[in-house]
Amino acid sequence: MTHADSGSPGETGAGATTRDSGFQQPDTEGRTAPVFGRGSQFHECFNDPRWALAMVRATVLEAAHPQIGAALIDNSTFVAHPWRRLRNTIVSMQRMFGPDDHVRQREAARLNRLHGRLNGTDARSRPYDAMDPEVRAWVVATMFESAVTMCRLSGQPLEQHAMERLYTEFQAFLAALGDEAGHLPPTLQEFWHYYDRVVERELENTEAMRIILYKLFDHLPAPPLLNGLPTLWAAGRTIAGPAIGAITVASLPEVFRRRAGLPELPGAETVMQGAYLAVGLARFLPGHWLRTDSIADLLALSPDSDDPRARTVTALCDKMSRAAALIRLIAPLPPEPQSTPAGGLQRGAEEFFHEVLDQTGNGYLDWPDLAAMARELSSRLDLDEPQESRLYSAFADWWRELQAALDADGDGRISAEEYATAAPSLAGPALIKVAEVLFDATDKDGNQTIDADEHRTLFRTAFHRDATDAGTAYTRSAFIKDFLSFMTGRRRTTPYDPLLAQA
C-alpha cells in the first residue's frame, strides 16, 4: 500500500473528501452535517456514558485479532498502566475527530510514527505490523460496530441514516490516517458482510483478549486520584471486575463466543442488557458531568496536584478514610494497606523494577518498556519530528547500555532478579543523555530553564519547592540531577512518580 500524501484528499465510499474537516454530509432533512467536530454523529457517541462499555467491547474484539493481540502483548502498557493508556486514547480520539484539520493531521502523523515502531512476531512466529492497513481497518470497524451495538443493546437502535452518517465518519477517520479507500467496504451493507467474515474466520482466543476479560478488571489498579482508598477500591473491584467481564462476553458475537470457547454464564445476557440500560440513564444528568475528557483528566490527577478538582476529591477521600477507620474500630475488618508517602523515600530495587521499569507488566525489562516511556513522554510534550525520534534514540541507547550491563543470561531481556543484583544505581552516559534530551524537549523556548508552563506540560502540576530554582524556574542541572536520582536512586518524588510509575 502506498501511504497517501498528507495534503491530498482521500475518498470514502460515500464520496467524501476526508482530508477536509469542513466536508459536509446530508442529514435527514437534506441539510449538511459535519463529519468531524460538533454536530457529527461521533460527537454524540463520545460523551454518551454507554461509550465506556462499548469501548471495552471494541478493545476485546481488537485484541482477538492475532496481529493486534500480539502487538498488545509485546508493546502495550494496558496491563500495568491502564488509566494512562485510557487517557492517551481519549486525547487522541478527540484530536482525530475534532474540528481542527491541522490538529488532526498532526495527530495522524504522530499515530503513524507510533504504529510504524510496532512490529515483530507472535508466539507462533507469525509476523505482526501495526501499519498493516487491514489491521488498522479492523480497529476502526470494531469502534463503529460497538457504537452501533451499544445503542441496540440499550433499546435505542440507531436509525439507518444515523448509522450511515457514523460509518462515513469512521471511514473519514481511517482516510485521515492516510490509508487508501477500500480497506473498509464502501457501503454500510457491504460492511456487515466484511465484519461477519472477520469475526467468523480471523479472530482468535488470544492471550491479550483473555487478559482483558479475566485479569485486567479483576486486578485493575486504582486511578491515581483514588490511591488513598485501597480497601474501598479493592472491594468495589472484586464485584465490578467479574461483572464487566461477564457483560462484555455476553455482548460479543455469538459465533465468536462459540469458536473461542468463552463461557456463557446463566443470565449474563439479561445482566448485560440491564447494564446498558442503566448506564444509558446517566445521559439525563447535566451535560458537563458526562464529558469524557473531563472525567479522564480527573482520574489522571495525582492526589497532591494543585488542580482544585484534585483537592476536592482528596478531601472527600480523607473523610471516607476516617469513616473507614471508625468502622474498623467497630468491626474486625482487615487493616487498610499503608501507602508510602512521596517525599523522597527510597524503593527497593525489585519494587522500582516493577513500578517504573516494567512498563508493559510482563515481569521483564526489555526494549518495549523503554519505548513505552519514550512514547508517554513524547505524548505529554506533544513532540513532532525530529525531537520525538531523538528521544526514542536516547532511550534505545540506554536500553543497549542496560542490556550490556545487566542481561546476565543473554536472553535479550532483564529480569527483576538480574536488575536487583547488578548495581542498578550506576548512572551511565546513556541515561544522562536521556535526561538531557528530555530537558531539551521540555524546554520549548530554549532558554535553558523550565518555566512554570513547561513544567506543567510535562508533569501536569505546578512547581514544587524541591524541584525549583529560586521558585521561578527549573535549571538544566537541577532537572538532570532529579531525573537521575529518580531513575537510579529509586527515590519517590512528587513529579516523577506520576510521570512514569502511576497507573
Kindly indicate the confidence band of residue 349, based on its pLDDT and cuts at 50, 70 and 90. confident
Kindly indicate the confidence band of residue 423, based on its pLDDT and cuts at 50, 70 and 90. low
Q: Is the pLDDT of residue 365 over 50?
A: yes
Flag whether the pTM goes above 0.75.
Answer: yes
Signed CA dihedral, 65, 70, 73, 78: sign only: negative
Residue 303 makes CB contacts below 8 A (sequence gap 6+) with: 224, 225, 227, 228, 310, 314, 317
Domain ranges of the chain: 48-86+101-289, 301-330, 349-500
Kindly indicate the confidence band of residue 324, based on its pLDDT and cuts at 50, 70 and 90. low
Read off the DSSP letter of residue 364.
Answer: E
Q: Rounded to an integer, what distance in angstroms lies between the CA atom of residue 209 and that of residue 203?
A: 10
pLDDT (mean) for 221-247: 82
Q: What is the pLDDT of residues 176-199, one digit of tens each?
A: 999 876 789 999 999 999 999 999
Percent of the chain at pLDDT > 70 equals 77
Better pLDDT: 322 or 324: 322
Kindly indicate the confidence band of residue 323, based on its pLDDT and cuts at 50, 70 and 90. low
pLDDT (mean) for 394-407: 94
191-200, 227-236, 429-438: range with lowest mean pLDDT: 227-236
pLDDT (mean) for 142-159: 93
- Kindly indicate whether the domain formed by 349-500 is annotated with CATH number 1.10.238.10: yes
pLDDT (mean) for 297-313: 66
Cβ atoms 61, 146 nearer than 8 A: yes
**The predicted structure's pLDDT at residue 2:** 33
Q: Rounded to an integer, what distance in angstroms lies between the CA atom of residue 492 and that of residue 503?
A: 15
Residue 139 makes CB contacts below 8 A (sequence gap 6+) with: 62, 68
**The predicted structure's pLDDT at residue 232:** 75
**The predicted structure's pLDDT at residue 9:** 30
Q: What angle do CA 86, 91, 94 make, to 5 degrees?
A: 125
Read off the DSSP letter of residue 103.
Answer: H
Q: Is the pLDDT of residue 10 over 50?
A: no
**The predicted structure's pLDDT at residue 16:** 38
**The predicted structure's pLDDT at residue 342:** 43
**The predicted structure's pLDDT at residue 194:** 97
Mean per-residue pLDDT of the chain: 83
Q: Is the pLDDT of residue 314 over 90?
A: no
Q: Rounded to an integer, what distance in angstroms lies between the CA atom of residue 440 and that of residue 41?
A: 41
Better pLDDT: 451 or 330: 451
Q: Rounded to an integer, what distance in angstroms lies between the CA atom of residue 434 and that of residue 159?
A: 53
User: Could you tell me where the DSSP H helices lie in 331-411?
Assistant: 349-352, 367-381, 387-406
**The predicted structure's pLDDT at residue 258:** 93
Q: Rounded to an integer, what distance in angstroms lies between the CA atom of residue 155 and that of residue 151?
A: 7
First-to-last alpha carbon distance for the chain, in angstroms, is 37
Q: What is the pLDDT of residues 102-136, one digit of tens each?
A: 999 999 999 999 999 999 999 999 999 999 999 99
Pairing of strands 364-365, 127-129: unpaired
pLDDT (mean) for 302-328: 63
172-176, 189-193, 275-279: range with lowest mean pLDDT: 275-279
